[in-house]
Amino acid sequence: MKALVKAKPEQGLWMERHAVPEIGPDDVLIRIKKTGICGTDIHIWNWDEWAQKTVPVPMITGHEFAGEIVEVGKNVSDLELGQRCSGEGHLIGKNSRQSRAGKFHLDPSTRGIGVNVQGAFAEYLCLPAFNVVPLPDDISDDIGAILDPLGNAVHTALSFDLSGEDVLITGAGPIGIMAAAVARHAGARNIVITDINTDRLALAEKVADVVPVNAATEDLKDVITRLKMRQGFDVGMEMSGNQAALDQMVDAMVMGGRIALLGIPSSKAPFDWSRIVFKAITIKGVYGREIFETWHKMIAMLQSGLDVSRVITHRFPVDEFRTGFETMKAGSSGKVVLDWTA
C-alpha cells in the first residue's frame, strides 16, 4: 500500500510502499479515504525538537482520517464490513485508575497513531475496534477527516457552560475557528476571536458568526465597550499557544471568569499569576478530547445544525501531499484535506 512515512530522521515525509498491516483479533482494517493535515504532522515534517524526542523512525504519520472498514478481527462482533468510520487516534491502556473510572482520555499510558504507533496517512490503517467511531450517512468523509481537531474544539468549548455567556477565543487557527462555531451553536452571546493574521480572521468570519479582532492593532478593552459588555468575557479559550494572547485574555476576563487552555506554548515563559488570584479565575488545561463523550456530542451537534464545512479550505489528491503541507505551513489556510481515493 501507499503510505506517507517519516522514513529518515530529517526534514520531510516520503511516499513509500509498505505492507498492508495485519490486524489482531480485536482490531479492524480501515481503507482510508480522506485525511486531515494537523499541526502535529507539520512538527513531524519539520523534525523539530519535540518530533526528534517523540517519534521513532520509520513511522507512518497522520491521525485525522475517515474511511471504511474492510476487515474485522475475530473478536469483533459489533462492526461490519463496509461501515464508514473515523476514529480516536489515542490508543489507551485499560488498567489505570482513570481508565477504570471511564475517563479514558486521561489514561497516562496513551499512545498516538501517527506519532508513537503506525498512523493513518496510508491506504490502510489497523485500529483497535474500541477506537472506531462509525459515521452516520449525513456526515461526509471530508468532515469525518477533521473530527479529531473538531473534537479538540468541542472538548474545550464544552469545558464550561456557554449559554448566554460572552466568550473570548485567542487564536483563529482551524481549532479556534471551529470552537467559535461550537460556542455559537451552544448558545453563547458575544463571541470574539483574536489573531494577528488577517487571513485567519477573515476565515473565522466566513465559518462562524463571530467578531474578529486583530490583536496586533485593536485593544480588547475597546471591543468590550463597543459590544456593550459590562466588565469583560465570562469564558476564555486560549487556542494560540502564544503568551501575549493569554496575557490579553486574562486582562479581558470578568471577575470569576473561566479559562480553558488548549494552545501549547512553544517554551516556558514567565506569567503574572497574581492576576489569576485577584480575579478569582478558574483555569482548566485541555488535552485531546473525551473518549467517547466528545465524539458523541460533536456528531450530535453536526446533525443538529453545527456547520464547520467551510473551515476546510484546501483539498488535494494525496500524490500532491507536498503542496498540501506547503499550504498548511504557510499558516493562512484552514484545514487541508488529502484524498486517498483520487
As a whole number of Å, the CA-based R_g of the chain is 20
Out of 18, 43, 54, 198, the active site residue is 43
Amino acid in position 229: M
DSSP string, 164-207: T--EEEE--SHHHHHHHHHHHHTT-S-EEEEES-HHHHHHHHHH
Nearby residues of 85 by Cβ (< 8 Å), 6 or more positions away: 30, 66, 67, 68, 69, 79, 132, 133, 134, 135, 144
Residue 277: CB atoms within 10 A of its CB come to 9
CB nearer to Zn ion: pick between 105 and 258: 105
Residue 276 near residue 255 (C-beta atoms within 8 A): no
Active-site residue flag, 40: yes
| Site stretch for ligand NAD (CB under 6 A), options 122-130, 168-176, 292-300, 309-317 | 168-176
Q: Quick one: 196 or 276, whose CB is closer to ligand NAD? A: 196
Candidate ranges 46-54, 76-84, 126-134, 190-198; the one touching ligand NAD (CB under 6 A): 190-198
* 145 is a site residue for Zn ion (CB under 5 A): no
Q: How far apart are CA 73 and CA 32, in angstroms?
A: 18
Angle (CA) 217-218-222 rounded to 5° is 160
CA distance 338 to 15: 13
Q: Does 263 participate in binding ligand NAD (rule CB under 6 A)? A: yes
Stretch that binds Zn ion, among 123-131, 141-149, 277-285, 332-340 (CB under 5 A): 141-149
Tell whether residue 239 is a contact of ligand NAD (CB under 6 A). Answer: yes
When CB distances to Zn ion are compared, the closest residue is 38
**Spatial contact of 9 and 22, defined as CB atoms under 8 Å apart:** no
Residue 172 or 291: the one with the smaller Cβ distance to ligand NAD is 172
Return the residue of 30, 38, 132, 182 that touches Zn ion, per CB under 5 A. Answer: 38
Distances (CA, A) of 150 to 21, 137, 162: 28, 18, 17
Residue nearer to ligand NAD on the CB measure, 67 or 174 = 174
| Active-site annotation holds for 90 | no
Query: Of Zn ion, ligand NAD, none, which one sits near residue 242, judging by CB under 5 to 8 A according to partner kind?
Result: ligand NAD
Q: Could you say which of ligand NAD, Zn ion, none residue 240 binds, taking C-beta under 5 to 8 angstroms by partner kind?
A: ligand NAD
Query: Which one-letter amino acid corresponds to residue 73?
Result: G
Phi and psi at 338, nearest 5°, equal -105, 135
With CB under 6 A as the contact rule, the residue among 61, 170, 294, 327 that binds ligand NAD is 170
Q: Return the number of the residue (107 or 148) whose C-beta is nearest Zn ion.
A: 148
> Is 72 a residue that touches Zn ion (CB under 5 A)?
no
Question: Which spans of this chain sit near ligand NAD (rule: CB under 6 A)?
Answer: 39, 152, 170-176, 194-197, 200, 215, 239-242, 244-245, 262-264, 286-288
Q: Which residues are catalytic?
A: 40, 43
